[in-house]
Structure 1
């Protein structure tokens, strides 16, 4: 199964994706980590990062692993490509969009992130609040799970996600 966490920076998707991957004992792939390596090697990060991540996910799905992907996933084309990856591997693809509906809380999270909490050495830097606001994040047109992290602790939000997904039979094989 391929589980793709999507959402703007600062919504809490990395925290939730890591915790779910740990809970499911699955492979965790994070775009920011990959982009940091690409940037430090002198490459552009956007298209190349997603392409590399698609291939890493496919390799692990072909091994029978559950794969949890953590990326902004802002465009219809990137969302469709994750489903293509899953189809090629005869796997199910589950889309989970993480939002933070409290604008002040979202801004606080973005502005108080420390680089050592968000990525590794390299040229990659976490986005600023103006950068998040200017993001081209296209509205969803396909079915997906959606969790608002404006309230609750990360542990409470993982539990809410587990309950939400359980109602939809998402993590059952």
Structure 2
């Protein structure tokens, strides 16, 4: 990877975005900012759960901005379900002339997606595992993307192939 990049992974919980974000972070030796651990840290710090969702995105954006300001690329791991956070990433990329690369993870096979959610243990201190019912609610709220992006069906291919496709997209 030669030019400065803002790599944003998006998709519903359990779609495979965190796994892919971590693999890309390791592969390219880039910092990874993930909204869920940021939000959980806010809760552990005593902030009310009612106000931390948008704030966690703001913290991730501030961390990303600091690295972009220093000329570094970053990886973002967040659901990004609606236009507001998506616009913030676009604006950040424009501000720092970073190449914005969006990778949307989807899990087309509903049975596979549900199995993943019901079996997953992320171990984020202070954050309960999400339920399938909550994922379904998030799906109903999730707006279709209009940005240019790579969309990966994580139910159709093994993680190694998904990583190879993402690396190909980014290089």
Same-fold call, TM cutoff 0.5 = yes
Deviating above 3 A after TM superposition, structure 1's stretches of 4 or more consecutive aligned residues are none
- Give the counterpart of 1:129 among 109, 128, 132: 132
Return the alpha-carbon distance in structure 1 between the equivalents of residues 21 and 92 of structure 2.
Answer: 19
Listed as ranges, the gaps of 5+ residues in structure 1 are: none
How many residue pairs get matched? 162
User: Which residue number in structure 2 is paired with residue 80 of structure 1?
Assistant: 87
- CA root-mean-square deviation: 1.2
User: Which residue number in structure 2 is paired with residue 4 of structure 1?
Assistant: 8
Is the partner of 1:134 in helix, strand or coil?
A: helix
Task: Give the alignment of 1:19-30 within 5 angstroms.
Answer: 19-30=23-34
2:73 equivalent to 1:57? no
Return the alpha-carbon distance in structure 2 between the equivalents of residues 4 and 28 of structure 1.
Answer: 10
Return the alpha-carbon distance in structure 1 between the equivalents of residues 122 and 26 of structure 2.
Answer: 22
Kept in 2, the 8 Å contact 1:5–1:70? The answer is yes
Superposition TM-score, scaled by structure 1 size: 0.89
Give 1:151 shift.
Answer: 2.2
Deviation per CA, 1:138-163: give whole Å up to 9, x if none.
11122211111112221221112223
Superposition TM-score, scaled by structure 2 size: 0.90
